[in-house]
Amino acid sequence: MRAITFDWGGVFTVGTFDGNATQRMSDTYGVPLEQVRASYFKFVKHLEVGEWTLEHFWNVMQEETGMKADYLEFETLYLGSIRENVAMYDFFPTIPRAFKVGLLSNNYPVVHEKLQADPRWSRFDTMVFSNLIGVKKPDPVSFRKLSEAVGVPPEKSIFVDDVEENLVAARALGFSTILYSALEHERFLSELEAWMAQGE
């Protein structure tokens, strides 16, 4: 058995989730984008490793930036910041059943629940989220957690991510890798097809 494993943001999304979310917060609440992003990126790490709830994160953001909205309004805006990569969603269910499929994502409370509940993600054999395991990429521990969860060693796995730093960490543990760009989706398909053919 071999495994095809993926990142989420920048692979299943167009643009980064953080970039989309901060732009929407700036536009909606009338606070300069630079100010929103400075605060957001200072605190988002607490979400990514499960130290804070999303509601606590929003309370801190409001205090620092002056943005004002009740939590449920913010949650709706936050979840609405997902811009799906249609090409990847079209490809995803066509992965042959001979391969295990896994996800390793630096993710957030509430957002990960929305992803887990999406019926289109039923092709995943396992989903590993940083906020649930308490460690994020590129920490080697996160990749070991992925291998354990999918049940396939790194040497028989490929990892797809849009961040080279994460791929460097994956390769150090034995994963094959593909650097993904939505603008080069056909290249991704060709590289993945070549990797899948190696085991035939």
- Cα–Cα distance between 161 and 166 in angstroms, integer? 7
Q: Could you state, in order of their start, the residue ranges of all structural domains in the chain?
A: 2-15+83-197, 17-79
Question: pLDDT at residue 185 above 80?
Answer: yes
Q: Which CATH number fits domain 17-79: 2.30.110.10, 3.30.470.20, 1.10.150.240, 3.10.105.10?
A: 1.10.150.240
Let me know: does 156 contact 175? Beta carbons within 8 Å. Answer: no
End-to-end CA distance of the chain: 12
How many degrees, rounded to 5, is the angle at CA 156 between CA 152 and CA 159? Answer: 90
DSSP assigned state of 104? E
pLDDT band at 79 (very low <50, low <70, confident <90, very high): very high
Confidence at 1, pLDDT banded by 50, 70, 90: confident
pLDDT digits (tens, 9 = 90+) for 14-51: 988 999 999 999 999 999 999 999 999 999 999 999 99
Q: Which of 70, 71, 60 is nearest to 36 (CA)?
A: 60
104 vs 119: CA distance, rounded Å: 18
Q: What is residue 69's DSSP assignment?
A: -
User: What's the rounded mean pLDDT across residues 110-118?
Assistant: 95
Task: Give the model's confidence band at 200: pLDDT under 50 very low, under 70 low, under 90 confident, else very high.
Answer: low
Contacts 24+ apart (CB under 8 A), 148-152: 149/102, 150/3, 150/5, 150/100, 150/101, 150/102, 150/125, 150/126, 151/1, 151/3, 151/100, 151/125, 151/126, 152/1, 152/2, 152/3, 152/100
Residue ranges of alpha helices (H) inside the chain are: 17-29, 33-48, 54-65, 71-79, 86-91, 111-116, 130-133, 140-150, 164-172, 185-197
- The band of 102, judged by pLDDT with boundaries at 50, 70 and 90, is very high
- Classify domain 2-15+83-197 by CATH number: 3.40.50.1000
Distance CA 155, CA 177 (A): 11
Task: Kindly report the average pLDDT of the chain as a whole number.
Answer: 96
The closest alpha carbon to 139, from 173, 162, 101, belongs to: 173
Q: Sheet of 126-129: strands edge to edge?
A: 126-129, 99-105, 2-6, 157-161, 176-179
Describe the crossing of helices 140-150 and 164-172 by its angle, rounded to 10 degrees.
70
CA pair distance 106, 113, nearest whole angstrom = 13
